[in-house]
Amino acid sequence: MLKNLLFIGIGSFLGGTMRYIVSRFVQGSIIFSFPLGTMLVNIIGCFILGLLYGLFSEGHLMSNGMRLFLTVGFCGGFTSFSTFISDNFVMLKDQNIFYLALYASLSLFVGLLMLYLGNMLAKAL
| Higher per-residue pLDDT: 21 or 33 | 21
Residue 97: pLDDT band with limits 50, 70, 90? very high
Calculate helix-pair angle for 36-57, 80-93, nearest 10 degrees. 50
Determine the pLDDT at residue 33: 67
Determine the pLDDT at residue 96: 93
Q: Where are the domains of the chain?
A: 2-79
As a whole number, the mean pLDDT across the chain is: 87
Residue among 7, 107, 1, 20 at smallest CA distance from 65:
7
Residue 4: pLDDT band with limits 50, 70, 90? very high
Q: Quick check: pTM over 0.85?
A: no
- pLDDT tens, 114-123? 878 888 888 8
Determine the pLDDT at residue 30: 77
Highest mean pLDDT pick, 4-8, 65-69, 71-75: 4-8
What do you get for the CA distance between the two ends of the chain, in Å? 41
Q: What is the mean pLDDT of residues 79-91?
A: 84
Q: DSSP for the chain?
A: -HHHHHHHHHHHHHHHHHHHHHHHHHHHT-SS-S-HHHHHHHHHHHHHHHHHHHHHHTS--S-HHHHHIIIIIIIHHH-HHHHHHHHHHHHHHTT-HHHHHHHHHHHHHHHHHHHHHHHHHHHH-
